[in-house]
């Protein structure tokens, strides 16, 4: 075997070895919930991908959906019985309050208030990073008190939760 034939053989082997190694410019798989693909790079999303998300304890549920060109949110914040106060009699609340609003414009920070099926409701929040979200919610005018005449209201403020993809199925 001549010198030039050996050089060609070494060149072919080196090329094959380089082709098998992952290069810096090679595309990688993005996390579909927290990243999106731009060219060959993965870029962090400001809000998670379209879908349904929940906190492990079920206290927060968020649905991100698309209507036409707009992305919208449905946010549900559960307010525990202990955080509800009832007036004028001061009786205890019979169940938790739920602050739920839909058709909120999707953005890194969101806020909305309106009438929900549970009474006058306010929901606000901010996507901190990835699937971590900081939410606040309040509800008033609930009639679920031990004495039928009391109305209850309460709030959860700045609750930070890490969301999981999917639908909350209970404990």
Q: Are the C-beta atoms of 8 and 16 separated by less than 8 Å?
A: no
Q: Are the C-beta atoms of 49 and 64 separated by less than 8 Å?
A: yes
Judged against a pLDDT cut of 80, whether residue 9 lies above it is answered with no
Return the bridge partners of 156, or none.
137
- Report helix, strand or coil for 59: coil
Quote the pLDDT of residue 130: 82
- Rounded Cα distance, 143 and 131, in Å: 34
The predicted-structure confidence for 25-81, as pLDDT tens digits, reads as follows 555 788 888 898 898 899 998 889 899 999 988 899 999 999 999 999 999 999 998
Quote the pLDDT of residue 136: 94
Cβ neighbours for 17, distance < 8 A, ≥ 6 positions apart: none
**Residue 92 buriedness (CB in 10 A; 0-12 / 13-18 / 19+):** middle
Higher pLDDT, 99 or 26: 99
Q: Are the C-beta atoms of 74 and 65 separated by less than 8 Å?
A: yes
Quote the pLDDT of residue 97: 86
Q: Taking the model in full, what pTM does it have?
A: 0.76
Task: Compute the mean pLDDT over every residue in the chain, rounded to the nearest whole number.
Answer: 85
């Amino acid at each position: 075997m001549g010198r030039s034939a050996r050089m060609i053989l070494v060149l072919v082997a080196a090329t094959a070895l380089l082709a098998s190694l992952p290069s810096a410019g090679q595309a990688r798989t993005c996390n579909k919930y927290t990243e999106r693909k731009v060219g060959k790079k993965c870029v962090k999303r400001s809000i998670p991908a379209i879908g349904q998300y929940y906190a492990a304890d079920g206290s927060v549920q968020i649905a991100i959906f698309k209507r036409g060109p707009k992305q919208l949110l449905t946010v549900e914040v559960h307010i525990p019985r202990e955080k509800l106060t009832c007036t004028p009699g001061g009786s205890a609340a019979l169940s938790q309050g739920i602050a739920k609003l839909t058709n909120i414009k999707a953005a890194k920070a969101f806020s909305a208030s309106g009438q929900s099926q549970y009474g006058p409701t306010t929901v606000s929040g901010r996507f901190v990073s990835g699937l971590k979200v900081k939410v606040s919610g309040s509800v008033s005018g609930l009639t679920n008190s031990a004495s039928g005449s009391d109305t209850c209201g309460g709030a959860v403020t700045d609750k930070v939760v890490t969301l999981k993809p999917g639908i909350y199925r209970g404990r």
